[in-house]
Structure 1
């Protein structure tokens, strides 16, 4: 089980390994923050179950309310995030897995009908199963069994986990979307641009990045850039960059003894007062208080 904080861009988290490409993640989000799972993506599939609370899910181009018990399916490569009103609890668990774990070794009926048809976009899965509806009643027990098996230390559990995963995949196929969606995120040109923007911000967060630079680099006017970014990431580029920088600062404060001023500089903040203000906005404490509360130094 993995309980680290969600990443803000393409996840660096390893979801299992090449020999068994599956991982269970459990999250209890920070109720003081509006953004509970920042916009990110990964090549693996994800099945997420809301355990407590309510909020808003953003999956690819869809935005919809979620509540306790609801199930989300996130296709490979799709941007996704969760938000909730401050003070409202929101916790969930997610099973993240690679396509090869459910594939057949040859080009048989299983591969053709249920794997390749989905990855090619001919079979479109629903991204939201509301608690209590017929499709949810079929899918939810399989996910609960998956979770139980992931947490259990029984010998040979890999076989049972794969069986439960295939059962869940069966119900995804049995209750597909009623209308065609835009398809996997990698086929959406705007989503590809957003992924390139997030990668650029990740690689350059330690220096000054301006809106004119971002817009020019991606061949847009500033207005076009701002509208596209907010429509896909659900916040402005400045908000996203500040939240990412603060998340990096948290790692540095936990893992090093560097002075707070040095941490601020390493995260792209030339002004320590502005860094302290942004850190308090997102973490609700000062950098020093965060370091002391963590107890790692």
Structure 2
């Protein structure tokens, strides 16, 4: 039987756990621990790049995971996604023995950019809707994962010949069950991202077709039939900036091209790209190009 372990968790200033799990050749470790061994009966909030399976053997644990909280009783477990902030705790004075498996996903994915990584691992790891998944022995597919967790710990503890191969096989089975039953969450996020991109493309096309006119946030949002708030959110998520900043940068990029490719005056260019005030145009141009329109034209004429 696996003996109980006692250890503390060290984190850096950002809450990342500093412990290494396993070895570079086999980045996986299992632990069997009594939460009562922690100071104040609580594990500090932390996160790690590895994923984790946590299983309560006896007692009761309170799990904080992202913005959610769970109560795990004996026989129940939880999957903790990579980079998810989490903590474990119990009522003061009580005992809770748990097993955990912490492993790097590349044990499952294999070579970078493999079909296993692209199709089965990254979609789950990158799904913002899945910080974790509670596992109940009363639900068939979750019960299978719990059985795999137990078997992994047993194989890791005994370390019989070929145990690494057996552990990887069990992890693959557990991951497949998890992936298959969480696809709706994964795909709903993909659909959501697709909607964001479609809306943003409509608004970018509107800006490109109307940048020379007097347009603002209200007009840009209306081009995709969404609210101004949703418009700003789409740009932030997809482009990484606000709609108005994008509009200004686009106008400046067109102005820069006109300064080099035509002989029209700077005042005419200012009006042509949607600025009705020459001094304001010069100010915005200098902000993004780091020189005035006059100097920009001179610099490339020399």
Match in the other structure for 1:82: 88
RMSD: 2.8
CA separation of 1:176 and 1:126: change in aligned 2, threshold 3 A: farther
2:168 pairs with 1:168: no
Q: Deviations 1:131-158 (Å, cap 9, x if unpaired)?
A: 3222322211111111111011311211
Match in the other structure for 2:8: 6
Per the TM alignment, residue 34 of structure 1 is displaced from its structure 2 partner at its CA by 5.1
Match in the other structure for 2:123: 117
Count of aligned pairs between the two proteins: 182
Per the TM alignment, residue 4 of structure 1 is displaced from its structure 2 partner at its CA by 3.6
1:167-206 mapped onto 2 (5 Å cutoff): 167-176=173-182, 179=185
**Distance of 1:39 and 1:115 partners within structure 2:** 25
Per the TM alignment, residue 171 of structure 1 is displaced from its structure 2 partner at its CA by 1.2
CA separation of 1:70 and 1:154: change in aligned 2, threshold 3 A: same
Check the 8 A contact 1:52/1:69 in 2, yes or no. Answer: yes
Gaps of 5+ in 1: 184-297
Match in the other structure for 2:139: 133
CA separation of 1:32 and 1:121: change in aligned 2, threshold 3 A: closer
Match in the other structure for 1:67: 73
Match in the other structure for 2:22: 16
TM-score where L is the length of structure 1: 0.55
CA separation of 1:169 and 1:28: change in aligned 2, threshold 3 A: same
CA separation of 1:35 and 1:87: change in aligned 2, threshold 3 A: closer
Match in the other structure for 2:213: none
Check the 8 A contact 1:27/1:92 in 2, yes or no. Answer: yes
Structure having greater relative contact order (Cα 8 Å, sep ≥ 6): 1
CA separation of 1:97 and 1:106: change in aligned 2, threshold 3 A: closer
Per the TM alignment, residue 92 of structure 1 is displaced from its structure 2 partner at its CA by 0.4
CA separation of 1:33 and 1:117: change in aligned 2, threshold 3 A: same
Check the 8 A contact 1:52/1:67 in 2, yes or no. Answer: yes
2:50 pairs with 1:44: yes
CA separation of 1:65 and 1:106: change in aligned 2, threshold 3 A: closer
**Distance of 2:132 and 2:37 partners within structure 1:** 28
CA separation of 1:177 and 1:52: change in aligned 2, threshold 3 A: farther
User: Quick one: which of 138, 148, 151 aligns to 2:154?
Assistant: 148
Per the TM alignment, residue 81 of structure 1 is displaced from its structure 2 partner at its CA by 0.7
CA separation of 1:149 and 1:123: change in aligned 2, threshold 3 A: farther
Per the TM alignment, residue 55 of structure 1 is displaced from its structure 2 partner at its CA by 2.8
Match in the other structure for 1:226: none
Per the TM alignment, residue 8 of structure 1 is displaced from its structure 2 partner at its CA by 5.1
Check the 8 A contact 2:81/2:130 in 1, yes or no. Answer: no
CA separation of 1:125 and 1:172: change in aligned 2, threshold 3 A: farther
Q: Which has the higher helix share?
A: 2
**Distance of 1:67 and 1:138 partners within structure 2:** 17
CA separation of 1:8 and 1:58: change in aligned 2, threshold 3 A: farther
Check the 8 A contact 1:124/1:177 in 2, yes or no. Answer: no
Larger CA Rg, structure 1 vs 2: 2
